[in-house]
Structure 1
């Protein structure tokens, strides 16, 4: 097994390789404006560091969001294109699940990423592998309870949510955690609970399709107004 995983649903452009037992290589650049420029070089970097070729990859996994429209599409389209060219399966994993998995927490908590428009994408977890609800998008002050918080979205609104609730855990869904979660799902039980992906052979894995929780900012221009002569 050689899983190539990457995520572009947050400002972190991140990629990793996992052989079913450990992360072989991982590379991340935090830059919210250059997903399209950075993803392929990042993939090339992890392949080179791991000493393998793209043809050795047996599965491609991409973070499926939720996230901003443009960045999210970069990763998912790349995953579909690579999988088609290599003749291997492509999967999508909820970006919040990867962030939760990377936290390593074993008690209830919330994950939050920046959704822009003064909102956050969030999910409620019983532990690092079990999503109870979400993903959802809301104003920070609408998030439930006094549970610990993980993610850059939580840190961004620490004054609203309470700085004491912030957990010392990764702010972004690094691809090493994404690859490890996907590899675990491919070799055994994955994420569990009512918030997991669609039922199937791999509960944590779904199709490489975007999770949209609201309409994109971009709009098709309306027809020009008629001007009478």
Structure 2
């Protein structure tokens, strides 16, 4: 297996190559306004560092959110285009699941916890996980004060609201290496991943104005 993984659902633009056993190369850059500019160079960089020609890839894994529309669509469209061009399967991964996988790898194991990312508008995207790392609730979007959460929490959203998430810590954003590791483990266990479709969890900001009248040609 040679799996290319990337995510643009958070302010981090992150990409990695995984050979089914370990991460061969990874890059992360936090810049919420430049997803479209940074993603393809990041993919090229990890392929070069891993010494992998894109035609040798066997799979693509992409973070499908939840996340803001503008950034999230960059990763999804790129995954669809690469999958089509190279004839590869594209596996969707909930971004919160990838952060949870990373948190457990970094030492948060044996207890329930919450992952929360910044949803703006004084809200968070969140999901709850049990002591084995299995998602038990979510993903959802809510105001922090409305949540009844476990004592431990990770993610940029948790760090923004210490009153709701006391003692919150990193990882703040998703890592493509962790996303790749999660995808590889799920595929090895023959568990289905998600389609390459966005988890927006919100209605779009742009809406047809009330009272709008369509004008048709005569």
**TM-score, normalised via structure 2 length:** 0.91
3-state secondary structure, aligned to 1:163: coil
Tell me the CA shift for residue 145 of structure 1.
3.6
- 8 A contact 2:26–2:176 mirrored in 1: yes
3-state secondary structure, aligned to 1:10: coil
- Find out whether 1:161 has 2:164 as its counterpart: yes
The equivalences for 1:2-151 within 5 A come to 2-104=2-104, 105-106=108-109, 107-127=111-131, 129-151=133-155
Distance 2:186 2:165 in 1: 34
Distance 2:209 2:25 in 1: 44
RMSD: 1.8
Tell me the CA shift for residue 187 of structure 1.
1.5
Change (3 A) 1:116 1:128: farther
- 8 A contact 2:128–2:149 mirrored in 1: no
Note the alpha carbon deviations across 1:163-194, whole angstroms, 9 max, x for none.
33x13x31111000000111111212xxxxxx
**TM-score, normalised via structure 1 length:** 0.87
Moved more, 101-110 or 144-153: 144-153
Aligned to 2:178: 177
Note the alpha carbon deviations across 1:98-126, whole angstroms, 9 max, x for none.
00000012210000000111100000000
Aligned to 1:197: none
Note the alpha carbon deviations across 1:194-226, whole angstroms, 9 max, x for none.
xxxxxxx424x1111101211122335674799
Aligned to 1:202: 191
Tell me the CA shift for residue 85 of structure 1.
0.6
- 8 A contact 1:110–1:125 mirrored in 2: yes
Distance 1:53 1:112 in 2: 35
Change (3 A) 1:130 1:162: closer
Distance 2:132 2:99 in 1: 9
- 8 A contact 1:120–1:140 mirrored in 2: yes
Note the alpha carbon deviations across 1:44-64, whole angstroms, 9 max, x for none.
110011011111110011001
Change (3 A) 1:71 1:128: farther
Moved more, 26-35 or 123-132: 123-132
- 8 A contact 1:76–1:209 mirrored in 2: yes
- 8 A contact 1:12–1:32 mirrored in 2: yes
Unaligned runs of 5+ in 1: 189-200
